[in-house]
């Protein structure tokens, strides 16, 4: 966990960007019922976590320029705590979290009535339903719909500031993401070592996730994807019910969380440990596309450039393998690669696996900046139903790594897991 000073600085920087007489409201995540009286595993809201480091549900952070920071939390309740675990309670907010004032949750409505009467702007993440509901309820309870219609129009999306702050990672955040990358890599290595024909996709997924836990990660960053054979051509395949067959490739897209920060790795390898000639041709093409794309992930270059680089290399290779027709420039113009490569080559990574941050500014692609962390994940997906030559059908390949943009060039945070064919085959032989 970060020091209290880190969270205090984040809140101060946020308040410095807010207009005078404004108030920001950020809600924690709520527990979600899975079935009857059982909940899904709780995961804190990323924005709320970024500003507080507080892990309990239902809390509300209220901050503003010239205002003390306020946190509304569940009160202590010894009887309930026996069943569901210890609560911090409002009295411990300041010493444990460094937040100026702690209140019980039931005081939120009363306090907001007073605070809203003194402000001109209210800010909250527009994408957060809970924050939106709190603001709407507070305005309604204060009777401001008729007397203060100006406040209704003076709402601002706090995400415009939070997203920019979260986009550029500090050195400490990058160190944590390196650890998430390391543990994620160990999960993929374990899967390569354990894989054998006849296993189910779900069994192989359990190997990955078990290794995450054994290495110190408390949770996965997203639902683990394991697709063998033609299932690898389904981008977000999560059924995981089929058995792995000798002669097929298996694609694993999996990452763990460390202190809320995600790792995100994809590797594709042969179920029996040996690539066929057709698999090798396509695999080497995807790997070369990734290598060329990563080389373009440099401070000051357009964020579109590494995707365009990957697309060009993949298109060139598809022509060489007689999967699509050339010439190259016409194939690019007509997007003839789309049946086989239909997604972007990367996304921001951080507290969310598809992290916050704008890819365009005023209609133009943003430039890569030091401290961004972005995935690089080209792929090819040639399904059994495609028009490609028969030898390539049923092959899905994606190779994904997490890349930190630095002044020294791109730094791959997930380099520990092999991706050269010879290295993969050697690892699987033991």
- Any idea which residues carry the catalytic annotation? 37, 236, 253, 264, 343, 347, 354, 377, 381, 398, 400
CB distance 200 to 241 below 8 Å: yes
Q: Mention every residue, 6+ apart, whose C-beta is less than 8 A from residue 405.
A: 297, 298, 299, 368, 369, 370, 371, 372, 373, 374, 411
Let me know: does 375 contact 263? Beta carbons within 8 Å.
Answer: no
Of 128, 136, 120, 116, the C-alpha closest to 162 is 128
d(CA 28, CA 20): 25
- Selection from 325, 384, 175, 319 nearest residue 261 by Cα: 175
Sign of the Cα pseudo-torsion (123, 117, 11, 217, in order): negative
């Amino acid at each position: 966990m970060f020091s209290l000073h880190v969270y205090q600085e984040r809140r101060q920087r946020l308040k410095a960007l807010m207009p005078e007489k404004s108030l920001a409201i950020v809600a924690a995540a709520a527990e979600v019922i899975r079935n009857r009286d059982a909940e899904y595993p709780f995961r804190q809201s990323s924005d709320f976590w970024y500003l507080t480091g507080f892990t309990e549900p239902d809390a509300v952070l209220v901050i503003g320029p010239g205002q003390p920071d306020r946190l509304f939390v569940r009160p202590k309740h010894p009887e309930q705590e026996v069943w569901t675990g210890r609560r911090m309670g409002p009295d411990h907010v300041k010493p444990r979290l460094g937040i100026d004032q702690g209140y019980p949750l039931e005081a939120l409505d009363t306090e907001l009535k007073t605070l809203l009467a003194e402000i001109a702007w209210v800010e909250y993440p527009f994408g957060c339903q809970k924050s939106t509901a709190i603001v709407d309820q507070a305005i309604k309870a204060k009777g401001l719909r008729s007397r203060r219609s100006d406040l209704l129009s003076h709402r601002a999306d706090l995400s415009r500031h939070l997203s920019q702050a979260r986009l550029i990672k500090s050195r400490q955040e990058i160190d944590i993401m390196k650890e998430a990358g390391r543990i994620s890599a160990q999960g993929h290595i374990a899967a390569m070592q354990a894989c054998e024909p006849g296993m189910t996709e779900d069994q192989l997924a359990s190997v990955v996730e078990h290794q995450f836990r054994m290495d110190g990660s408390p949770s996965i960053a997203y639902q683990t994807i394991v697709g063998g054979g033609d299932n690898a051509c389904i981008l977000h395949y999560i059924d995981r019910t089929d058995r792995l067959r000798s002669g097929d490739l298996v694609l694993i897209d999996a990452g763990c969380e460390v202190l809320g920060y995600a790792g995100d790795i994809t590797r594709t390898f042969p179920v029996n440990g040996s690539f066929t000639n057709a698999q090798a041709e396509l695999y080497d093409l995807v790997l070369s596309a990734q290598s060329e794309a990563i080389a373009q992930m440099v401070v000051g270059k357009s964020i579109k450039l590494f995707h365009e680089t990957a697309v060009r290399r993949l298109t060139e290779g598809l022509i060489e393998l007689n999967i699509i027709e050339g010439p190259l420039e016409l194939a690019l113009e007509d997007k003839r690669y789309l049946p086989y490569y239909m997604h972007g080559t990367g996304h921001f990574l951080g507290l969310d696996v598809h992290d916050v941050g704008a890819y365009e500014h005023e209609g133009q692609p943003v430039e890569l900046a030091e401290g961004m962390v972005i995935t690089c994940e080209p792929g090819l997906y040639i399904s059994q139903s495609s028009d490609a030559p028969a030898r390539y059908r049923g092959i899905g390949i994606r190779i994904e790594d997490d890349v930190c943009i630095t002044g020294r060039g791109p730094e791959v945070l997930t380099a520990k897991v092999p991706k050269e064919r010879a290295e993969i085959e050697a690892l699987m032989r033991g």
